[in-house]
Amino acid sequence: MPTVKKNVLVIEDDPDIGRLIESSLESGNYIITVTDSGADGLVMLQSINYDLLILDLNLPGIDGIEICRKVRKFNDTLPIFIVSGRDTEIDRVIGRELGADEYITKPFSARELKARVNAFFRRLERSGRE
């Protein structure tokens, strides 16, 4: 049976990092959509069924923390990976408390990001939650 491609939304205001995430995952079994706007990302999340959100915290306008809070109000099961330059322990703890499944600090390895995403979906598949 063919594997269904996973639909991933990336909300990242740095175009270089957005392209890096997109290129690292597009070679896998993923359909990647990148937006640099938190407001646009929220609209997309409410109208399209995504399998994963990769979210930067330092966004202009609506920041990633507020996006995470809002997403958890209307979708408490969407996996969220935070990718952020905020690297203190308190930032990582807050990210997890807001509902993030992963917290990856910048700079990060594109290979490691892809490995974490792949591992996450493998675990979901094994648990039968997919």
Q: Per-residue pLDDT tens for 72-126? A: 999 999 999 999 999 999 999 999 999 999 999 999 999 999 999 999 999 988 8
Instruction: Provide CB contacts within 8 A for 92, sequence distance 6+.
Output: 103, 105
**Average pLDDT of the chain to the nearest whole number:** 92
Between CA 42 and CA 75 the distance in angstroms is: 11
Q: What percent of the chain has pLDDT over 90?
A: 80
Which residues share a beta bridge with 83? 104
pLDDT at position 1:
42
- Whose structure tokens read 């990001």? 113
Nearest to 60 by CA among 15, 9, 94, 13: 13
Distances from the Cα of 6 to the Cαs of 60, 69, 105, in angstroms?
Answer: 27, 23, 23
User: Does 48 score more than 80 pLDDT?
Assistant: yes
Overall average pLDDT of the 5-25 stretch: 95
> pTM (2 decimals)?
0.93
- Domain 6-124: give its CATH code: 3.40.50.2300
Q: What does the block give as tokens for 40?
A: 């646009």
- Whose structure tokens read 């409410």? 46
